Amino acid sequence: MPKMKTHKSTAKRFKVTGTGKLMRTKIGKSHLRRNKAKRVRRLFDEYLVVTHKPNVKRVRRLAPSLWKHR
């Protein structure tokens, strides 16, 4: 059986909390930020919990290294 390889793009986009929840960043934070209000730009820095079970399962399969040390 070959080793599981981590999908590096997925590993960079998600984080796992100490309790095992999958966290993601908000969309729309990369460009056209100067046009947005300061409060909106500040809200982009927050992380959100991924609650959709099929997506959590997909990320777990793509990036097993995220859960390696849990």
Residue 34: φ, ψ to 5°: -65, -25
Q: CA–CA separation, 6 vs 11, rounded Å?
A: 7
The answer to whether residue 70 scores a pLDDT higher than 70 is no
The answer to whether residue 37 scores a pLDDT higher than 90 is yes
Q: For the whole model, what pTM was predicted?
A: 0.78
The angle subtended at Cα 24 by Cα 41 and Cα 45, nearest 5°, is 20
The answer to whether residue 7 scores a pLDDT higher than 80 is yes
Q: Specify the fold of 8-67.
A: Factor Xa Inhibitor (4.10.410)
The domain limits of the chain are 8-67
- Retrieve residue 32's tokens: 């056209």
pLDDT in tens, 38-62: 999 999 989 999 999 999 999 999 9
Amino acid, single-letter form, for residue 49: V
State the average pLDDT for the chain: 90
